[in-house]
Amino acid sequence: MDPFFDFTGKIALVTGGSRGLGLQMVRAFAERGADVIIASRKLDACEAVAEEVRAMGRRALAVSAHAAKWNEIDRLIETVYSEFGRLDILVNNAGMSPAMPSHDVTEELFDKVVGLNFKGPFRLASQVGKRMYDGEGGVIINVSSSGAIQPVPTIVPYGSSKAALNAMSRSLAAEYAPKVRVNTLSAGPFLTDIAKAWTPEMRESSNNIIGRPGRPDEVVTTALALASPRSSYITGAFWQADGGY
């Protein structure tokens, strides 16, 4: 095991961990020794990933939870701490990005987007952050988006909620320092499930520096580096895995 990416004995929770970037991060942590909690709304999908993790010889827990609803988030936290006793790594990955003209956005949709991308992650990060601070410390990674730092039409609630997430990361990093490190992983266009709705051209090229969308596995090194105990001097940071914007 590479000592810079050795997570033996660590416990990680990944929301939205049953598919896309979250699934890649679950696999990466488990392959490097971590026990993993996989959370999303669909329990069967989480269980399938948990079985994959167990086949690696790690402990795994599948939990159905809506990452925007505080009562379900609180239940998730209690379940994790009851089962494992602590949490070392939290990845706030669940999110949604429906595209439509801003003038057509309903209040219901606005609340759903902001709830999943900011309100829920705030609750989870703040509650887990306090527990980490009162315990042995830990790492929180908030998964943001390049849409938060560029003027992108038709996804204004999404980009705005992710911008709020960016600000939240820096503030929580200051609030729970030095025992808890909180950083932002800003993801660009990736060929996850969402890409099924893209045009063939969008799946092959992008207006970033590299000129193409990312493969899901290309998020792994950024997540591992931010979570690594060897990154003990990195907090309040904004790391881009977006092909260059």
Give the pair of three-digit tokens for residue 15: 């929301």
What pLDDT is recorded for position 174? 98
Identify the active-site residue in 158, 176, 233, 245. Answer: 158
Q: Which domains does the chain have, with CATH numbers?
A: 3-241 (3.40.50.720)
What pLDDT is recorded for position 192? 85
Is the pTM value of this prediction over 0.85? yes
Q: Is 133 a catalytic residue?
A: no
Q: What is the pLDDT along the chain (245 residues), one digit of tens a residue?
A: 899 999 999 999 999 999 999 999 999 999 999 999 999 999 999 999 999 999 999 999 999 999 999 999 999 999 999 999 999 999 999 999 999 999 999 999 999 999 999 999 999 999 999 999 999 999 999 999 999 999 889 999 999 999 999 999 999 999 999 999 999 999 999 998 777 778 898 899 999 999 999 999 999 999 999 999 999 999 999 999 999 99
